[in-house]
Amino acid sequence: MTILSENTVGLDREVRFGDVRYDFHVRHGHSAWSDLRTRFAELDADRFVVVADAGLPAQLVAETEMNLSLLAPTRVLSARADETQKRLTALDRLAEEALRDGITRRSVVVALGGGTVGNIAGLLAALVFRGIRLVHMPTTLLGMSDSVLSLKQAVNSSYGKNHLGTFHAPVFVWNHLDFLDSLPAAETRSALCEMIKNVLGIVPERYDEVAGLLRTDARYSPHVLSRFIDLCVDAKTRVMRHDPNEKGDALILEYGHTVGHAAELLTGGRLRHGFAIGIGMLAAARVSRELGMLDRADEAAHRRLLELNGAPTLLPQELDTRSVLDIVRLDNKRGYVPGRSGSCDLILLEALGRPHRPGGLQITQVDERTVRTGIESVLGNRPALVGA
């Protein structure tokens, strides 16, 4: 583990997933731009293609373009950070623009945005000329602490999230904490739900530390944000070091995602990703308790961290059990084990930090009646705080 002193904000780590290694940098303050130019200059690129979130502040995009254009011709392409737009049609448009602009095998795709834009740009880099270099510059805490700590690049189909994709590693990740200054509090809370997932599923020994740091007002110093990001690097590398394609030990990273992805898709992304995953974890915890695995204290431990984070614990009022279950049946984890009629494949815990492994694999086939119970436990008479 990296030890961060109270005054430490900068962070340099090597992320290792199987045979893949890439550098992971965290910076804060104006001097970060000088460090960034030095790092990008090492790539000796003939051009940078920046895929930028259309909703980013113009000044942030302009400053990024200006710094990169000092090194090589730079083109900014716009992409909407919208789950309904995370489709092959958006990818095709970007690819046509990049090819028309002269992208080559020596070019570098730069993902400037959150997880949605990062996935679109990542898949673009993976497909152009069967794979060119990718650099992530996440602008959200969720991107910094979760989505860039993965090799998965994917877009949605009309049937569900992340059905179409591949694996493609960045050459490095550059996190500038100043990018987070303009984020709404809800975006920070949403991101920290994924960190909470890592605590519950992978590093429960960090539970008390995180409980003591979480704030419902989502106001954190750069030092604390660096600690949160560092924790997520620790957790994800622990399970992905020998499972880079996330098919074995790293399946725990999908905890809460089965019901969560269904809710996120049904609301068209209006329910923020992290909030959906947090609620999905509560549903999974109830399923585990119904099956005699998690006890009440462990289930309550889920809710405590989410509440300390100021995150919602109920699904939006317009969702119902049937619509959520219909999407759960099409979840992208289907096929790891032979399908069984009347059941759904879920990631569950036996205890904090201990995934259930029937047959050695972290996939539990749960009868739909019990899955319904889990979904209904997070339905309420009041709407969840979608944009809180």
Q: Which residue in 201, 210, 91 sits closest to 154, CA to CA?
A: 91
What is the C-alpha separation between 359 and 343, in angstroms, rounded? Answer: 16
Q: Quick one: tokens of 50?
A: 């920046």
Looking at the DSSP bridge assignments, the partners of residue 113 are 138
Torsions phi, psi for 329 (to 5 deg): -65, -20
Q: Quick one: tokens of 308?
A: 């300390």
Q: Which amino acid is at 13?
A: R
- Write down the H helix ranges in 241-357: 257-266, 273-290, 296-308, 321-328
Q: Which residues contact 291 (CB under 8 A, 6 or more apart)?
A: 348, 364, 366, 370
Looking at the DSSP bridge assignments, the partners of residue 111 are 51, 136
Q: Which amino acid is at 383?
A: P
What is the C-alpha separation between 165 and 192, in angstroms, rounded? Answer: 25
Q: Of all helices (H) and strands (E), which one includes residue 51?
A: strand 48-53
Q: Of all helices (H) and strands (E), which one includes residue 12?
A: strand 11-17
| Distance from the Cα of residue 225 to its chain's centroid | 16
What is the C-alpha separation between 362 and 371, in angstroms, rounded? Answer: 17
Q: Determine contact, residues 246/149, Cβ cutoff 8 Å.
A: no
- 152 catalytic? Reply is yes
- 246 catalytic? Reply is no
The catalytic position among 194, 254, 264, 299 is 254
Angle separating helix axes 321-328 and 257-266, nearest 10 degrees: 120
Residue 95, CA atoms < 13 Å, CB-side half-sphere: 18
Q: Quick one: tokens of 136?
A: 């992530």
Looking at the DSSP bridge assignments, the partners of residue 133 are 108
Q: Determine contact, residues 373/286, Cβ cutoff 8 Å.
A: yes
Q: Which residue in 154, 365, 179, 178 sits closest to 261, CA to CA?
A: 154
The catalytic position among 152, 290, 350, 376 is 152
Q: For the chain, give the longest Cα–Cα distance.
A: 60
The catalytic residue positions are 152, 254
